[in-house]
Amino acid sequence: MIFKVFYQDSAMEAPVREKTKVLYVEGESERDIRTKLSPFHYNIEFIQELAGAHLEYEKQSENFKVTEYA
């Protein structure tokens, strides 16, 4: 499954909407995604599973790139 992750670079700073970034990550579940991203100390705001028409729509974006994490 592919998930869209909304995050801030640092968990130590207060979230600011204008600084929110997005990652596309493949994983088994939301928990799996959080585990994969935990070494980076991101302030994860929201994780959204992408499927069906929504996934196809996101794939059309020029910023769509699935990031690989082991």
Q: What does DSSP say about strands 2-8 and 21-26: parallel, antiparallel, or unpaired? A: antiparallel
In one-letter notation, the amino acid at residue 43 is: N
Residues spanned by the domain of 51: 2-10+20-61
**Tokens matching residue 20:** 């929110």
What's the confidence (pLDDT) of residue 56? 96
Q: How many domains does the chain have?
A: 1
pTM confidence score: 0.89
**Tokens matching residue 36:** 């994969």
Does a structural domain hold residue 68? no
pLDDT digits (tens, 9 = 90+) for 22-59: 999 999 999 999 999 999 999 999 999 999 999 999 99
Does a structural domain hold residue 34? yes
Query: In this structure, what CATH number is given to the domain that contains residue 35?
Result: 3.10.20.730
